Amino acid sequence: MRLVPFASDMAAGVAECYNDLIAPVPECHPVPPDRFADLEGLASQHLRDERLMVAQAEPGGVRGFVHVGIVAAGLDYRPPVGPGTIRFLAYRPGERPVGKLLLDWAEAWAREQECTVITAWNGSYPYPFYYFPDGAQLSEHIGHVRALFGMAGFQERGSELLLTWRDFVPPVPQPPAPECRLELVWTDGPRLRVQAMRGPEELGHCIMDRGQISPSPEADDWCFCLALHVSDPFRGQRLGSFLLATALEEMRRLGCRHTALSVSWRNHRAVLMYTNIGYRHADRTCNFFKILDESSELARALRLA
């Protein structure tokens, strides 16, 4: 087994490894080799110095890969030197030595770059075709990779629940207790922002996006709730469910059949509201971090978070 830098002639093997990994993940679709045509096409605008390393076996071809980069200054944690990050790591179940080789290399690389922290599966830097546009972290259905990170001393951070509702039937919007007027604002995508207003004051809003960045032929059948916010004084007065129901009604009118959203697993109030309406739990995702220098300012910030 050896690790080699990615080259375009490895695209088919890397795509096959990726597709094997995401096969058990709900609503995550396989991709053709051309999605891995070159590293430039995969690059994130938020990262620098990206590298994609491939584990090769002879015979046997690609056995796994890891994609790393450094968070650009001023983003995410805003440290003096951005943390290293693992965008993606793939290997097949039962091949732990391959996964360990890839993960050990990624950590050693981060240390060589003088990174004080390394993160992994951060939803801010996903592959453009992996999962839904929000909450694109490591799925609980990829259990062997999740366990590998735990064994290597990585800590979970930012766990999210993915809720889906196939063939949704929009609930009838029930007027909330606070009197308000609705404003529907459409932007490219299409993206809808439903705003509850009282005079110039916004009481709450719901943002719904149609489609996902995916090669799936079903992409346009989906709408994703990117945000649902109600100002503190107006919570518990049916305003949130009213905004959501209105947004779903508009998306259904647009032709969407299915809907999904991501919410913090600790937000029990929101999960109750969503599941009462019709959403169901499909997945739990998380990202990770590992402190490489305990004395660093970033390490102290993470311990306090």
Strands (E), the chain: 2-5, 47-57, 61-71, 84-91, 117-120, 138-139, 155-165, 181-187, 191-198, 201-210, 222-230, 258-264, 280-291
Q: Is 164 domain-assigned?
A: no
The answer to whether residue 278 sits within a structural domain is no
pLDDT of residue 75: 45
Burial class (CB in 10 A: 0-12, 13-18, 19+), 199: exposed
Residue 162 CB partners (closer than 8 Å, separation 6+): 26, 132, 135, 260, 261, 262, 281, 282, 283, 284, 285
User: Three-class SS string for 160-182?
Assistant: EEEEEECCCCCCCCCCCCCCCEE
Q: Which domain holds residue 18?
A: 2-159+285-304
84 and 220 inside one domain: no
Q: What are phi and psi of 59, to 5 degrees?
A: -80, 170
109 and 225 part of one domain: no
Q: Does residue 289 sit within a domain?
A: yes
In terms of domains, do 36 and 73 share one? yes
pLDDT digits (tens, 9 = 90+) for 173-215: 888 888 899 999 999 878 999 999 999 999 999 999 988 666 6
* Residue 9 CB partners (closer than 8 Å, separation 6+): none
Whole-number pLDDT of residue 179 = 87
- Same-domain status, 128 and 90: yes
Lowest mean pLDDT among 18-32, 34-48, 282-296: 282-296
Q: In this predicted model, what pLDDT tens digit does every residue of 37-94 receive, in sequence order?
A: 999 999 998 899 999 999 998 766 999 999 999 998 654 444 444 689 999 999 999 9
Q: Are residues 122 and 236 in the same domain?
A: no
Q: What is the pLDDT of residue 144?
A: 97
Domain-located, residue 56: yes
**Which CATH number covers residue 189?**
3.40.630.30
Q: Are strands 222-230 and 258-264 parallel, antiparallel or unpaired?
A: parallel
Phi, psi of 56 (to 5 degrees): -115, 145
Please check whether residues 145 and 15 belong to one and the same domain.
yes
If asked whether residues 91 and 231 sit together in one domain, one would say no
Tell me if 167 is assigned to some domain: no
State the pLDDT at residue 67. Answer: 98
Within this chain, do residues 125 and 155 fall inside the same structural domain, yes or no?
Answer: yes
Residue 95 pLDDT more than 60? yes
Give yes or no: residues 102 and 8 share one domain: yes
Beta bridge partners of 57: 61
227, 97: one domain: no
Whether 185 is covered by a domain: the verdict is: yes
Q: How far apart are CA 171 and CA 243, in angstroms?
A: 11
Question: Does the pLDDT value for residue 7 go beyond 50?
Answer: yes
The mean pLDDT of the chain is 89
Q: Is the pTM of this model over 0.85?
A: yes
Tally of domains within the chain: 2
Contact call for residues 39 and 50 (beta carbons, < 8 A): yes
Residue 266 within any structural domain of the chain: no
Q: Does pLDDT of 304 surpass 80?
A: no
Q: Label residue 135 by pLDDT band (50, 70, 90).
A: low
The pLDDT tens digits for 140-152 are 999 999 999 999 9
Q: Please say which residue of 217, 235, 256 terminates a domain.
A: 256
Q: Are both 83 and 189 inside the same structural domain?
A: no
In a domain, 98, yes or no: yes
Distances (CA, A) of 133 to 204, 209, 219, 222: 22, 9, 11, 11
Query: Is there a single domain that holds both residue 97 and residue 207?
Result: no
Q: Which residue has the higher pLDDT, 248 or 157?
A: 248
Instruction: Give the residue among 256, 199, 263 at the shortest CA–CA distance from 228.
Output: 263
